[in-house]
Amino acid sequence: MTTRLKNFLRYSKPERLIVLGYSLIILLGFLLLCLPICHKQPVAALDNLFIATSALSTTGLATVSVADNYNFLGELVILLLIQLGGIGYMSIGSFIILGRKKRLSETGVRLIQFDFSLPDKYPVLHFVKDVIIFSIVIEVLGALGLYFIFLENGVDNALWSAIFHSISAFCTAGFSLFNNSFEGYYDNFYLNAVISALSFAGAVGFIVFSDYYEYLLKPGKKITYTSKIILRFTLIVFVVAGMILLVSDEGLHGYPTEDKILLAFFQSMTALTTVGFNSYPIGNLLPSSLFLLTIVMFFGASPSGTGGGLKSTTITALYAQMMATLKGKREVTFLHRIIPNHRVRLAASNFFFYSTVLTLGILALLLTEKPDAFSLLFEATSALGTVGISTGITGELSVLGKLIIVALMFFGRIGPLSLGVAIMANKEEEKEEIVEEDLAI
């Protein structure tokens, strides 16, 4: 490595290095997917770019059918992109470096801490090892479970399909080799259970896993505050959204009760974990259900996980801040703990920036696209939240529309705020005397 590159890596903001890293991987993936040896039939360059970005951002939106257009090699490239995007290329790289008994650079540690939004003083190296081992164990177990289910249902290439869907679920990517996702399995309890387990495992994030793993090894250890909040939030939103879907969507009323329950909660799960598989045609849901899923997709998964969205802890911090204001309290508290001011502020900035990016994305789509406004709103939220469910309009988008979705998915993977920091950083501020002044709100 040249001294110049070393200095660049050492002194650049982590945000900028992360953006650069993911951009390079998307470029590489895009170029690979453009090779005719990856195709069953020719795929346009824009669609390859779309699929590469969708895979690395673990979104799962697709302008063309993956199964119909890419051969095994193409699917393998897509799966590698999903794995790199899901667990984070930095941790995979670090794991390899650590495995070769080399020391991890300071920059590497900083990037991982940043990429996983780890709390202060978190043991990063330990964490990375746990992350990789957990991921492999869970993905192997998931693939085993899916293998038997697919075998029983006579799926071609059951092993490859099992591996692909297991990784796609754990990384909350939601790419499927079936053209109608899991609609054919809507009443298969085992498939519902395995996919949901994998998706939740990815979505609650590695902090929770690491926590419970340590807890099992050393019974004296306590579950962290972050984990408690993540689990509560995930459980509550999953159950409430599922119940509302179950009760309110008339389209489900024709199904037997067990299937209705599976359908409602699978769709709640898919939006919340941001995995983005579906077992019911999303376009057939009522507008109220679509809007409910839009809210859940906006919330999204949890920090340090493979999912997207605004994140459970951000919503919780905002809720706690609102309650503090309502009660006229100075300290922002939740679950009998004070949330540090700088975290609350980060949550508020995140919320405002995320909403702004989403709003501008929707407006841009409305200006360029023909499909109905509500479907576009749904599509944009799904892209920014890296969810990947769609009412079915992805393929109909114009060139501009596809590029807008590509941008939203990329924003969604990096986290809009981080992307903003990457762009804003290094701008020198003029030094000046500055005073406080009251403002009417």
Site pattern 102..121 for a second copy (x: CB under 8 A):
---------------xxxx-
28 CB neighbour count, 10 Å cutoff: 16
Residue 311 near residue 256, CB atoms below 8 Å? no
Query: Whose Cβ is closer to K ion: residue 181's or residue 210's?
Result: 181
Contact flag: residue 348 with a second copy (CB under 8 A): yes
Q: Of these partners, K ion, a second copy, none, which one is at the site of residue 276 (CB under 5 to 8 Å by kind)?
A: K ion
**Site for a second copy, residues 366 to 395, rule: CB under 8 A:** 366-367, 372-374, 377
Contact flag: residue 225 with a second copy (CB under 8 A): yes
**How does DSSP classify residue 85?**
H
Which of these segments, 54-62, 89-97, 140-148, 161-169, binds K ion (CB under 5 A)?
54-62
Query: Whose Cβ is closer to K ion: residue 59's or residue 94's?
Result: 59
The C-alpha atoms of residue 87 and residue 214 are separated, in whole angstroms, by: 20
Least distance in Å: CB of 201 to a second copy? 17
Q: Of these partners, K ion, a second copy, none, which one is at the site of residue 1 (CB under 5 to 8 Å by kind)?
A: none
Residue 276 near residue 307, CB atoms below 8 Å? no
Q: Of these partners, a second copy, K ion, none, which one is at the site of residue 388 (CB under 5 to 8 Å by kind)?
A: K ion
| Interacting residue with K ion among 202, 276, 303, 416 (CB under 5 A) | 276
Give pairs for 31-37: CB < 8 Å, separation 24+.
Answer: 32/77, 33/70, 33/74, 33/77, 33/78, 37/71, 37/73
Classify the phi-psi angles of 432: left when phi > 0, otherwise alpha if psi is within -120 to 50, otherwise beta: beta
Least distance in Å: CB of 58 to K ion? 5
Query: What phi, psi does 70 have (nearest 5°)?
Result: -110, 140
**Site for a second copy, residues 308 to 347, rule: CB under 8 A:** 311, 313-314, 316-319, 321-329, 331, 333, 336-340, 343-347
**Site for K ion, residues 166 to 185, rule: CB under 5 A:** 172, 174
Which of these segments, 145-153, 296-304, 347-355, 380-388, binds K ion (CB under 5 A)?
380-388
Query: Whose Cβ is closer to K ion: residue 300's or residue 401's?
Result: 300
**Site for a second copy, residues 282 to 301, rule: CB under 8 A:** 286-288, 290-292, 295
Q: Of these partners, a second copy, K ion, none, which one is at the site of residue 60 (CB under 5 to 8 Å by kind)?
A: K ion
**Site for a second copy, residues 391 to 430, rule: CB under 8 A:** 417, 420-421, 424-425, 427, 429
**How does DSSP classify residue 103?**
P
The C-alpha atoms of residue 376 and residue 374 are separated, in whole angstroms, by: 5
The C-alpha atoms of residue 141 and residue 122 are separated, in whole angstroms, by: 28
**Site for a second copy, residues 238 to 277, rule: CB under 8 A:** 248
Q: Which residue matches tokens 């993540």?
A: 230
The C-alpha atoms of residue 132 and residue 313 are separated, in whole angstroms, by: 23
| Interacting residue with K ion among 388, 401, 412, 416 (CB under 5 A) | 388
Query: Whose Cβ is closer to a second copy: residue 10's or residue 102's?
Result: 10
Residue 300 near residue 309, CB atoms below 8 Å? yes
Q: Position 60: which residue type? A: G
Sign of CA dihedral 270, 276, 280, 283: positive
**Site for K ion, residues 59 to 98, rule: CB under 5 A:** 59-60
Helices (H), ranges, 12-123 = 14-34, 45-56, 66-69, 72-87, 89-99, 106-115
Query: Whose Cβ is closer to K ion: residue 21's or residue 300's?
Result: 300
CA angle 53, 57, 60 (to 5 degrees): 80
**Where do contacts with K ion occur on this chain (CB under 5 A)?**
59-60, 172, 174, 276, 388
